[in-house]
Structure 1
Amino acid sequence: MYKSLTSNQKQILEKEFSFYKSLSKKHQKQFRHRVASFIDDKEFVGRSGEIVTLEMQTLIAAVGCMLSFGRKEYLYDMIETIIIYPDEFYSSNNDAYHKGEFNPRLKVLVLSWKHFKDGYEVDNDNYNLGLHEFMHAMHLETRISKHIDGMRFKRHFHHIMARIADKDVRQKLDDKQFFRAYAFTNQFEFMAVITEYFFESPKDFKQHYPILYDHVNKALNMQIAGF
């Protein structure tokens, strides 16, 4: 049975979330159900004076559900709590200020609302904090998953890693500098960054690196959403 969103939540998606507007009526109904289920499944906590609003819950859930829309397991079992700060926050994990952070041990996703909003409001600059952090959670979850979603992700992730290990492909990546340098920090950051590009610049991504694009598309099973 499908869960429903309030009229205010529907308006938020229709007004502020371009991915939702691009879906068919059938898929919009499914997306609303998933957003409602996500909100019911997680605890949202405001910090540093931030008051959690319906808009925050709806849009954070929407970004997570956009990334997992091609999956049957879409709720991110490794996330139980979402902490929202108004701006950058101090993290004791590495004694630095962050815009976002995923802590798998505590099952906590932490976000700066300011930078999260920038991520989805400007949807063509290849920066999307929500997508980036949700991909970290998805990536770690799939490493231990026996579900078909996890197995598919792992298979195509290995293809992606093999692809960028190819000398000619890596030279092309270095020469073109299509992806920002931070992508090459490690395999987790690479996957998180190219996911931002996949959703925000799909045509350019596909034109420059069609095989890499195809593996990301299949890893996420996003063909159903027209990618």
Structure 2
Amino acid sequence: MLYFLIAFALVICFTIFQRKKRRALTQTVLNDAQKQLLTQHINYYNKLSDTDKLYFEDKIEQFLEAVRIEGVGLEVTDTDRIMIASSAVIPIFSFKDWTYRNVTNVLLYPDTFDKDFQFEGDSGEGRNIMGMVGSGYMNGQMILSRNALVKGFSKNSGKENTGIHEFVHLLDNADGATDGIPGGFLQHEYVEPWVRMMHQEIRRIEAGHSDISGYATTNEAEFFAIVSEYFFEKPDQFHTRHPELYDILSKVFAQNPAQNN
């Protein structure tokens, strides 16, 4: 018991030291009110150990320091910032020194928008996009709908989380291609089984034999993002219904969220 207490104390001291070291480089430090927002809105955070909560907070601070969040037609709140940063941190939580190098700005819209990035007007036709990662002249930009973002972190979110979905696209793109194969995070021996599983499940979805969203059949990149939402939002259910997919995603993200429930 004594050895356990000593080891635990050393872990805490090391974590605090690392946070102080990081703060020497980072100006953004979460205040008590912002930490309370984490507790209030981020279920993933609440399931972490005390030590991991400190680490999660540190990664939130790093993200907010590196990425500019701007409101379009709204004023960005601390709740918005916490939800966006958490969307980014959750998929990369186990990647100790990894940061997003393919996003510099997040634009937050009040609601869904169309392919021309419009969210206003008399007709709502075509305004069904909840989030997207920019390309071309929008490279380095992400657009998110606040309504979709908030819904993703609500208690009744189901299997969907738009914020996580879009940051998983960035993770997918880390090897230079948004193709549903996270080459930088999946060992080569698992790539072929993963591709085979994707196509098998897509056929099941198209046949109406899967509980995974039909949007996952759009292409491999959307499949990866959709099942990643499911993996983090409903890990127990995903593990039960899709054990092989769950096993591969556990390797991709180096996480086992069902174990934390």
By the TM > 0.5 criterion, same fold? yes
Q: Percent identity?
A: 24
Task: Please report how far the alpha carbon of residue 66 of structure 1 lies from its aligned counterpart in structure 2 after TM superposition.
Answer: 0.8
Please point out which of 188, 193, 203 is paired with 1:159. 193
Greater Cα offset, 12-21 or 174-183: 174-183
The structure that has the greater radius of gyration is 2
In 1, are the aligned partners of 2:198 and 2:223 still within 8 Å (CA)?
Answer: no
Tell me the equivalent position of 1:103: 134
**Distance in 2 between the 1:62 and 1:182 partners?**
23
Q: What secondary structure sits across from 1:114 in the alignment?
A: helix
Please point out which of 126, 129, 136 is paired with 2:169. 136
**Distance in 2 between the 1:135 and 1:22 partners?**
21
In 1, are the aligned partners of 2:66 and 2:104 still within 8 Å (CA)?
Answer: yes
The Cα RMSD (Å) is 2.5
Tell me the equivalent position of 1:217: 250
Greater Cα offset, 217-226 or 177-186: 217-226
**Distance in 1 between the 2:46 and 2:90 partners?**
12
Tell me the equivalent position of 1:52: 76
**Distance in 1 between the 2:254 and 2:171 partners?**
13
Tell me the equivalent position of 1:178: 211
Letter in 1 for 2:71: G
Judged with a 3 Å threshold, the aligned counterparts in structure 2 of structure 1 residues 107 and 66 are, in CA distance, closer, same or farther, namely same
Letter in 2 for 1:52: V
Tell me the equivalent position of 1:77: 101
Contiguous gaps of at least 5 residues in structure 2: 1-17, 24-28, 118-124
**Which of the pair has the greater relative contact order for Cα pairs under 8 Å at 6+ separation?**
1
In 2, are the aligned partners of 1:79 and 1:104 still within 8 Å (CA)?
Answer: no
Letter in 2 for 1:162: R
**Does the alignment pair 1:12 with 2:23?**
no
Letter in 2 for 1:204: Q
Judged with a 3 Å threshold, the aligned counterparts in structure 2 of structure 1 residues 157 and 80 are, in CA distance, closer, same or farther, namely farther
Task: Please report how far the alpha carbon of residue 76 of structure 1 lies from its aligned counterpart in structure 2 after TM superposition.
Answer: 1.4
Tell me the equivalent position of 2:53: 28
**Distance in 1 between the 2:97 and 2:116 partners?**
31
Q: What secondary structure sits across from 1:111 in the alignment?
A: strand
Tell me the equivalent position of 2:6: none
**Distance in 2 between the 1:123 and 1:198 partners?**
16
Q: What secondary structure sits across from 1:90 in the alignment?
A: coil
In 1, are the aligned partners of 2:103 and 2:141 still within 8 Å (CA)?
Answer: yes
Task: Please report how far the alpha carbon of residue 182 of structure 1 lies from its aligned counterpart in structure 2 after TM superposition.
Answer: 0.9
C-alpha offsets along residues 122-161 of structure 1, whole Å, 9 cap, x if unaligned?
Answer: 35511111111111111011346xxxx9533364454321
In 2, are the aligned partners of 1:99 and 1:111 still within 8 Å (CA)?
Answer: yes
Letter in 1 for 2:166: E
In 1, are the aligned partners of 2:159 and 2:229 still within 8 Å (CA)?
Answer: yes
Q: What secondary structure sits across from 2:256 in the alignment?
A: helix
**Distance in 2 between the 1:115 and 1:27 partners?**
27
**Does the alignment pair 1:207 with 2:229?**
no
Judged with a 3 Å threshold, the aligned counterparts in structure 2 of structure 1 residues 86 and 224 are, in CA distance, closer, same or farther, namely closer
C-alpha offsets along residues 159-208 of structure 1, whole Å, 9 cap, x if unaligned?
Answer: 32122345xx6665545322111111100000011011111221121112
Please report the TM-score for the alignment, with normalisation by the length of structure 2: 0.76
**Distance in 1 between the 2:216 and 2:97 partners?**
26
4+ residue segments displaced more than 6 Å: none
C-alpha offsets along residues 10-69 of structure 1, whole Å, 9 cap, x if unaligned?
Answer: 000011111111000110000000001100000111112x11112211111012101111
Contiguous gaps of at least 5 residues in structure 1: none
**Distance in 2 between the 1:73 and 1:104 partners?**
25
